[in-house]
């Protein structure tokens, strides 16, 4: 499991600790002046783009873990478009964009070629947005998992098709307004009872590593990527990334929104291996879902012109269910110890996937 | 025709300003057109939008390279992009700035323009005060009304009130009026008072042409092409819409999804599928179950449905699909050409191409009728961005009129437990040829049916739209340009110009590309000595696609030279100047049998040399872009 232990730093109220307060070996990859800058500056992402931030941390961590020996295959989407307004390219590693639906399979092909050539050191990353991963690319992704191809696939989940102007994907949450689930009619926004949570489906492939992360805890994301690079086979990391444009939030609030996503139980942060959940990141102080919804214009119709308490309650119930299902609430003595706990350290809160699935429909 | 170019940055409302200018002109009974230039740029990047105003129908759809007026929304662009490019000495310039012209240090740029036609207005400050937000669009349009007189200030104010009901509209209207007054009396740059709007701009409009007031014609609206298509589809009462987003189709399906969700479109299911393959497959299922099914896509999305396309036509399911034409990658390109639909020309779908947004509306109504009468799927090809994102005048038919024209769908075959049938069985060598022959025969029947339906449409709606061909001044033309889609308007403009100079030039628009109307094309081109096929697609390894078909149509008719001109690939604009030069070259006998218009051979040469010099020469598309030194996503140049 990752060597990283979250250090609570309660004065900030956010559990975030600045690098300068950590021992050098505990500092983030980004704190290292010799970092790879895998996605260098000058790209065309919007201000505050969570995907740009997440990808930068993830890839720099992968570069450090492999000594810069990585090839990336990218699906179509914002990340691809904003990073390659040629002749400017942000990529400081070999990188290929083929199509929207095939990034996992392209990555498989790269891994196969390396194997054929007897190259056992160069590693492969596939990556894409939620649309490219959970919708159109899902068949290729599942195939890559099932065969156990030696690829780390990273999904940057901003919960909609942002590149084409914010349309609904299977990762769009209920009630969220998108261009194809408008805030009109009797049930404005995306419907309840639809959508899928791919991390659990990935886990069901019994691959050696599955993790979720958010841009609110970049240190954790780095640690998970580094850990993923220490193992072979098909691995999956699903990163919640804020999109200021699509969510309707200020650029400066990207990280705050992601933090609220975890602190409300809206987005569970966990790790798993071979079908089992092996660790979760605890919520220290549970916040009501409203604190997460209110700052986002995609949920504005829940508050104006009238409050839709019944919808807010359903969303609260969803978050509560996550909390119960993944055991997200801190059970130990308040304010002590690490946020990330292993299964053995905290067995009561953790369940097997089949139990989760038995407990009801997938999120 | 008055042509206006607006320069701003993403997020400043350049596109909205162009649209509202067009809307103001529309409300005064004029024809107008607004359209953005497109890029994959995010907020803050330089963007351009365009507006045309005339008293005659506007046919041209090329980007404005020689504007009569400029509106500069962001003064920081003055020294960054070639703002004044193409502006004539008679041009008007309005710059959003609190500074005086001298302070802006325009230098020699300013010398190109007559001083009284170059003004600044403090639009952002006015907007801050009147609206509470730094959105300068309304103030700039107010200033523009004062500077040029091409639109009335009341129309400008009303356009904002209509678009933004409530306080926002009122604030914008006040800002527009304040800026109007400021520019009229010269307070923005301290120059002497100007008592009256400039008449020079209005002179560009075809004064005397009859204006048509929107108030007089019900259904006459100024709409974005995509919205117009969505409105047309809604009136066809589809029962199942399954779609997957892809630029530049998105606005069509977003519009339809909103209508379904708001309950405006009754008895219709909208399915947000997970891929284009699923979109077409769901349409197949819906159609087989007896529902009127619709989808829309473009480019990569069309290719991703390809297997299902052949299946839909093979099964004989009358699905209607809009293709918002866009180039195919790699290299990825979101701009318009015809590579996508042309690549599916053998898929068994009927393919109709439209030249304007009015025709897009009309042909979709015809498409359902055609599809259902033949039990074959129909693809309506609408140029991406050029039409889908152009904000133009269209007449929307009433629901009653459409209901009278298009009866409810009565399927030839349907999955029905009361009368079970098997669809999609395997057919071996014993009958496969006959089944395929029948598919061909059925599609060829459309050659009779398309003109019949177009005639019935014209009779009911009083407008000619669709059909097999559009012959424009071809009857005595020695030189004819053959083309498809939105470029036809631009070509017709040039044909008129050249006709005035006594050149016998014509234009043949192909409206139905599949089935191929060989007989009709042969007849239409009979008088021609030179035929230039202007192609927005390339069949790598041979060249033209449409021209191969034209060759077949003209087989055996000697004495005619057929040229293929590949142009407009991946959104390279085909301007009136391009067409003029093409015709001149053709008439002078300077055109080879296949040519690439506006090709930068130098760029190609450099890459070829690199490949000779070095084995690992690298990815060639990227190499060439580096040579060009431009940013791939820069606005139209
Ligand atoms: C086959 C195909 N269909 C549709 C598209 C259009 N398309 C490009 S990117 C994109 C959305 C990307 O969404 P996501 O994967 O969530 O990434 P994001 O932009 O949100 O980061 C779509 C629909 C395409 N390129 N190819
Ligand atoms: S639209 Fe969203 S995901 Fe795309 S670049 Fe902007 S912030 Fe990032
Ligand atoms: Mg996304």
User: For B267, left (φ over 0), alpha (ψ -120 to 50), or beta?
Assistant: left
Rounded to the nearest angstrom, the distance between the alpha carbon of A298 and the centre of ligand 3 is: 14
From chain A, the residues in CB contact with B253 under 8 A are: 180
Lowest mean pLDDT of A166-170, B189-193, B475-479, name the range: B189-193
CB-CB contact of B158 with B174 (8 Å): no
Instruction: Name the closest residue on chain A to residue B251, using Cα atoms.
Output: A179
- Ligand 2 atom nearest to A158, measured from its CA: 3
Q: What does pTM read for this prediction?
A: 0.92
pLDDT of amino acid A187: 95
Rounded to the nearest angstrom, the distance between the alpha carbon of A59 and the centre of ligand 1 is: 21
Q: Would you say the CB of residue A131 lies under 6 angstroms from ligand 1? A: yes
User: For A148, left (φ over 0), alpha (ψ -120 to 50), or beta?
Assistant: left
pLDDT of amino acid A7: 60
Residues A239-273: tens digit of each pLDDT: 999 999 999 999 999 999 999 999 999 999 999 99
Rounded to the nearest angstrom, the distance between the alpha carbon of A243 and the centre of ligand 2 is: 5
From chain B, the residues in CB contact with A196 under 8 A are: none
pLDDT of amino acid B613: 97
- Angle, CA B198 vertex, CA B195 and CA B199 arms, to 5°: 125
Of all residues in chain B, the percent with pLDDT exceeding 90 is: 84
pLDDT of amino acid B634: 38
Q: Would you say the CB of residue A249 lies under 6 angstroms from ligand 2? A: no
Q: How far apart are CA A289 and CA B155, in angstroms?
A: 46
CB-CB contact of B18 with B51 (8 Å): yes
pLDDT band of residue A338 (cuts 50, 70, 90) is very low
Rounded to the nearest angstrom, the distance between the alpha carbon of B12 and the centre of ligand 1 is: 25
Q: How far apart are CA B612 and CA B607, in angstroms?
A: 9
CB-CB contact of B378 with B344 (8 Å): no
Q: In terms of C-beta density within 10 A (0-12 exposed, 13-18 middle, 19 or more buried), how is residue B310 classed?
A: middle
pLDDT for B525 beyond 90: yes
> What are the CA-CA distances from residue B412 to residues B291, B422, B442 (Å)?
12, 13, 14
- Angle, CA B182 vertex, CA B176 and CA B188 arms, to 5°: 120
Tokens of A225: 């990527």
Instruction: Please indicate if any CB of chain A lies within 8 Å of the CB of B622.
Output: yes
Separation of first and last alpha carbons in chain A:
26
Segment B477-496 mean pLDDT: 98
Computed on alpha carbons and rounded to an integer, the radius of gyration of chain A in Å comes to 19
Tokens of A88: 């400017």
β-pairing verdict for A123-129 and A70-74: parallel
pLDDT band of residue A309 (cuts 50, 70, 90) is very high
Q: How far apart are CA A54 and CA A213, in angstroms?
A: 9
Can you point out the beta strands (E) in B484-631? 505-510, 512-514, 530-535, 561-566, 594-596
Tokens of B15: 């596109």
- Please name which of A190, A189, A170 lies closest in space to residue A362, comparing C-alpha atoms: A170
- Report if residue A318 sits inside a domain: no
β-pairing verdict for A95-97 and B269-272: unpaired
Instruction: Please indicate if any CB of chain A lies within 8 Å of the CB of B166.
Output: no
Q: Would you say the CB of residue A135 lies under 6 angstroms from ligand 1? A: no
Q: Calculate helix-pair angle for A138-147, A103-116, nearest 10 degrees.
A: 30
CB-CB contact of B483 with B513 (8 Å): no
Give the number of whichever ligand sits closest to the CA of residue A43.
Answer: 2
pLDDT of amino acid B204: 76
Q: How far apart are CA B98 and CA B118, in angstroms?
A: 14
CB-CB contact of A270 with A211 (8 Å): yes
pLDDT for B630 beyond 80: no
CA atoms lying within 13 Å on the CB side of residue A228? 33
DSSP notation for A197-243: -HHHHHHHTT-SEEEEEETT-HHHHHHHHHHHHTS-S-EEEEEE---
Chain B window 327-356: which residues touch A at a Cβ cutoff of 8 Å? 329-330, 332
Residue A156, C-beta contacts closer than 8 angstroms, at least 6 positions apart: A50, A51, A54, A55, A79, A127, A128, A129, A130, A239, A241
Domain assignment of residue A163, given as a range:
19-281
- Please name which of B213, B226, B443, B201 lies closest in space to residue B316, comparing C-alpha atoms: B443
Residues B452-471: tens digit of each pLDDT: 999 999 999 999 999 999 99
pLDDT band of residue B528 (cuts 50, 70, 90) is very high
- Report if residue A292 sits inside a domain: no
Give the single-character DSSP code of B636. Answer: P
> Which residue, judged by its Cα, is nearest atom 25 of ligand 1?
A100
Within 10 angstroms of residue B47's Cβ, the number of other Cβ atoms is 25
Within 10 angstroms of residue B600's Cβ, the number of other Cβ atoms is 12
Q: In terms of C-beta density within 10 A (0-12 exposed, 13-18 middle, 19 or more buried), how is residue B497 classed?
A: middle
pLDDT for B212 beyond 70: no
From chain B, the residues in CB contact with A182 under 8 A are: 254, 257-258, 261-262
Ligand 2: which of A42, A46, A250 to mutate, judged by most atoms within 8 Å of the beta carbon? A46
From chain A, the residues in CB contact with B633 under 8 A are: 44, 85
Rounded to the nearest angstrom, the distance between the alpha carbon of A101 and the centre of ligand 1 is: 9
From chain A, the residues in CB contact with B603 under 8 A are: none
- Please name which of B160, B115, B112, B155 lies closest in space to residue B135, comparing C-alpha atoms: B160
- Report if residue A97 sits inside a domain: yes
- Report if residue A96 sits inside a domain: yes
β-pairing verdict for B320-325 and B293-297: parallel
> Which residue, judged by its Cα, is nearest atom 4 of ligand 2?
A78
Residues B159-175: tens digit of each pLDDT: 999 999 999 999 999 99
Give the single-character DSSP code of B355. Answer: S
Q: How many domains does chain A have?
A: 1
> What are the CA-CA distances from residue B601 to residues B537, B583, B596, B624, B626 (Å)?
19, 21, 10, 11, 15
> Which residue, judged by its Cα, is nearest atom 8 of ligand 2?
A49
Q: How far apart are CA B290 and CA B411, in angstroms?
A: 6
pLDDT of amino acid A340: 41
Give the number of whichever ligand sits closest to the CA of residue A48.
Answer: 2
Rounded to the nearest angstrom, the distance between the alpha carbon of A155 and the centre of ligand 1 is: 13
Ligand 2: which of A78, A81, A133, A215 to mutate, judged by most atoms within 8 Å of the beta carbon? A78
pLDDT for A94 beyond 90: yes
- Report if residue A320 sits inside a domain: no
pLDDT band of residue A4 (cuts 50, 70, 90) is low
Lowest mean pLDDT of A128-137, A350-359, B370-379, name the range: A350-359
> Which residue, judged by its Cα, is nearest atom 6 of ligand 2?
A46
Cβ within 8 Å, pair B274-A136: yes
Higher pLDDT, A341 or B20: B20
Q: In terms of C-beta density within 10 A (0-12 exposed, 13-18 middle, 19 or more buried), how is residue B614 classed?
A: exposed
pLDDT band of residue A347 (cuts 50, 70, 90) is very low
Cβ within 8 Å, pair A182-B272: no
- Report if residue A6 sits inside a domain: no
Cβ within 8 Å, pair B625-A87: yes
- Write the ipTM: 0.87
pLDDT of amino acid B173: 97
pLDDT band of residue B215 (cuts 50, 70, 90) is low
Ligand 2: which of A45, A82, A244, A258 to mutate, judged by most atoms within 8 Å of the beta carbon? A45
Q: Would you say the CB of residue A130 lies under 6 angstroms from ligand 1? A: yes
pLDDT for A316 beyond 50: yes
Which of A44, A90, A102, A135 is best to mutate for the B interface (most B CBs within 10 A)? A44
Which of B245, B330, B624 is best to mutate for the A interface (most A CBs within 10 A)? B245
Residues B106-145: tens digit of each pLDDT: 877 777 788 889 999 999 999 999 999 999 999 999 999 9
Residues A181-230: tens digit of each pLDDT: 999 999 999 999 999 999 999 999 999 999 999 999 999 999 999 999 99
Give the number of whichever ligand sits closest to the CA of residue A246.
Answer: 2
Tokens 């997970």, residue located? B274
CATH code, A32? 3.40.50.970
Q: How far apart are CA B415 and CA B423, in angstroms?
A: 8
Instruction: Please indicate if any CB of chain A lies within 8 Å of the CB of B618.
Output: no
Q: Would you say the CB of residue A46 lies under 6 angstroms from ligand 2? A: yes
Q: Would you say the CB of residue B245 lies under 6 angstroms from ligand 1? A: yes
Q: How far apart are CA A165 and CA B138, in angstroms?
A: 25
Lowest mean pLDDT of B97-101, B145-149, B562-566, name the range: B97-101
- Report if residue A111 sits inside a domain: yes
Longest dimension (CA), chain B: 89
Tokens of A190: 């995306």
Rounded to the nearest angstrom, the distance between the alpha carbon of B246 and the centre of ligand 1 is: 7
DSSP notation for A63-91: HHHHTS-EEEEE-SSHHHHHH--TT---B
pLDDT of amino acid B557: 87
pLDDT band of residue A85 (cuts 50, 70, 90) is confident
- Report if residue A32 sits inside a domain: yes
pLDDT of amino acid B332: 93
Segment B251-266 mean pLDDT: 97
pLDDT of amino acid B378: 98
Q: Would you say the CB of residue A104 lies under 6 angstroms from ligand 1? A: no
CB-CB contact of A38 with A92 (8 Å): yes
Give the number of whichever ligand sits closest to the CA of residue B243.
Answer: 1
From chain A, the residues in CB contact with B243 under 8 A are: 180
> What are the CA-CA distances from residue A287 to residues A7, A257, A337 (Å)?
20, 12, 20
Within 10 angstroms of residue B340's Cβ, the number of other Cβ atoms is 25
- Name the residue among B257, B263, B275 with its Cβ closest to that of A136: B275
Residues B268-284: tens digit of each pLDDT: 999 999 999 999 999 99
């Amino acid at each position: 499991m990752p060597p990283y232990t979250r250090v609570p730093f309660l004065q900030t109220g956010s559990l975030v600790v600045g690098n300068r307060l950590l021992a050098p070996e505990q500092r983030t990859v980004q704190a290292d002046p010799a970092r790879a800058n895998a996605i260098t500056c000058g790209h065309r992402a919007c201000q505050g783009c969570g995907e740009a931030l997440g990808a930068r941390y993830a890839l720099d961590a992968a570069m450090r873990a492999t000594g810069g020996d990585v090839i990336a295959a990218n699906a179509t989407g914002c990340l691809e478009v904003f990073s390659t307004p040629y002749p400017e390219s942000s990529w400081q590693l070999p990188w290929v964009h083929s199509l929207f639906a095939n990034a996992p399979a392209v990555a498989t092909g790269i891994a196969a070629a390396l194997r054929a050539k007897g190259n056992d050191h160069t590693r492969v990353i596939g990556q894409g947005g939620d649309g490219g991963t959970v919708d159109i690319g899902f068949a290729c992704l599942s195939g890559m998992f099932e065969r156990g191809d030696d690829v780390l696939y990273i999904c940057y989940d901003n919960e909609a098709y942002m590149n084409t102007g914010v349309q609904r994907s299977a990762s769009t949450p209920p009630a969220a307004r998108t261009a194809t689930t408008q805030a009109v009619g009797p049930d404005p926004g995306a419907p309840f009872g639809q959508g899928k949570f791919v991390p659990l489906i990935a886990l069901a492939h019994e691959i050696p590593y599955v993790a979720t992360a958010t841009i609110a805890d970049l240190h954790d994301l780095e640690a998970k990527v580094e850990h993923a690079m220490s193992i072979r086979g098909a691995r999956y990391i699903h990163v919640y990334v804020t999109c200021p444009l699509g969510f309707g939030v200020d650029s400066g609030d990207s990280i705050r929104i992601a933090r609220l996503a975890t602190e409300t139980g809206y987005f569970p942060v966990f790790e798993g291996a071979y079908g089992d959940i092996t660790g979760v990141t605890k919520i220290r102080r549970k916040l009501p879902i409203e604190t997460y919804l209110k700052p986002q214009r995609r949920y504005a119709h829940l508050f104006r012109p009238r409050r839709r308490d019944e919808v807010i309650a359903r969303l609260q119930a969803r978050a509560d269910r996550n909390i119960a299902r993944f055991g997200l609430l801190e059970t130990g003595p308040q304010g002590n110890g690490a946020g990330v706990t292993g299964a053995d350290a905290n067995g009561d809160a953790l369940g097997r996937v089949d139990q989760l699935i038995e407990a009801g429909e997938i999120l | 025709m008055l042509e206006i170019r607006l320069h701003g940055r993403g997020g400043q409302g350049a596109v909205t300003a162009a649209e509202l200018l067009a809307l103001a002109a529309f409300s005064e009974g004029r024809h107008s057109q607004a359209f953005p230039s497109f890029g994959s740029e995010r907020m803050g990047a330089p963007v351009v939008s365009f507006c045309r105003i005339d008293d005659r129908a506007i046919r041209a759809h090329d980007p404005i390279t020689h504007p009569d007026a400029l509106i500069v929304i962001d003064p920081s662009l003055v020294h960054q992009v070639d703002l004044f490019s193409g502006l004539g000495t008679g041009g008007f310039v309005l710059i959003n700035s609190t500074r005086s012209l001298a302070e802006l240090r325009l230098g020699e740029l300013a010398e190109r323009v007559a001083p009284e036609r170059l003004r600044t207005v403090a639009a952002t400050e006015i907007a801050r005060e009147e609206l509470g937000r730094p959105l300068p669009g309304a103030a700039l349009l107010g200033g523009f009304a004062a500077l040029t007189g091409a639109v009335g200030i009341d129309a400008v104010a009303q356009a904002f009130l209509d678009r933004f009901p409530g306080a926002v509209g009122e604030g914008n209207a006040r800002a527009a009026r304040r800026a109007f007054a400021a520019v009229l009396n010269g307070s923005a740059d301290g120059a002497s008072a100007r008592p009256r709007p400039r008449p020079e701009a209005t002179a560009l409009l075809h004064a005397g042409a009859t204006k048509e007031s929107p108030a007089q014609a019900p259904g006459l609206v100024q709409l974005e092409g995509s919205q117009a298509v969505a409105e047309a589809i809604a009136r066809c009462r589809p029962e199942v819409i399954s779609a997957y987003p892809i630029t530049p189709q998105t606005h069509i399906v977003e519009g339809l999804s909103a209508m379904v969700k708001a309950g405006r479109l009754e008895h219709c299911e909208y399915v947000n599928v997970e891929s284009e393959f699923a979109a077409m497959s769901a349409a197949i299922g819906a159609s087989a179950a007896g529902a009127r099914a619709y989808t829309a896509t473009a480019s990569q999305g069309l290719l991703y449905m390809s297997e299902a396309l052949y299946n839909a036509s093979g099964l004989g399911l009358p699905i209607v699909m809009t293709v918002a034409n866009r180039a195919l990658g790699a290299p990825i390109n979101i701009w318009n050409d015809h590579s996508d639909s042309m690549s599916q020309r053998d898929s068994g779908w009927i393919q109709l191409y439209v030249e304007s947004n009015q025709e897009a509306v009309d042909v979709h109504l015809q498409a359902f009728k055609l599809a259902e009468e033949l039990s074959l799927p129909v693809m309506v090809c609408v140029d991406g961005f050029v039409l889908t994102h152009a904000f133009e005048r269209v007449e929307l038919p009433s629901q009653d009129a459409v209901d009278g024209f298009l009866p409810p769908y009565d399927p030839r075959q349907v999955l029905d437990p009361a009368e079970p049938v098997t669809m999609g069985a395997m057919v071996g060598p014993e009958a496969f040829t006959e089944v395929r022959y029948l598919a061909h025969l059925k599609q060829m029947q459309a050659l009779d049916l398309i003109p019949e339906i177009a005639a019935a449409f014209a009779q009911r709606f009083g407008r000619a739209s669709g059909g097999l061909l559009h012959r424009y001044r071809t009857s005595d033309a020695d030189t004819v340009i053959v083309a498809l889609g939105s470029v036809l308007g631009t070509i017709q403009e040039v044909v008129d110009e050249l006709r005035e100079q006594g050149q016998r030039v014509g234009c043949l628009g192909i409206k139905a590309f599949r089935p191929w109307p060989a007989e009709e094309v042969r007849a239409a081109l009979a008088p021609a000595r030179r035929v230039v096929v202007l192609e927005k697609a390339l069949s790598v390894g041979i060249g033209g696609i449409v021209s191969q078909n034209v060759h077949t149509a003209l087989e055996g008719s000697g004495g005619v030279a057929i040229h293929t001109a590949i142009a407009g690939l991946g959104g390279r604009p085909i301007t009136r100047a391009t067409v003029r030069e093409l015709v001149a070259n053709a008439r002078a006998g300077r055109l080879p049998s296949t040519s690439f218009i506006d090709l930068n051979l130098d760029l190609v040469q450099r890459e070829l040399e690199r490949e000779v010099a070095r084995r690992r020469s690298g990815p060639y598309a990227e190499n060439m872009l580096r040579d060009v030194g431009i940013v791939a996503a820069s606005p139209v140049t």
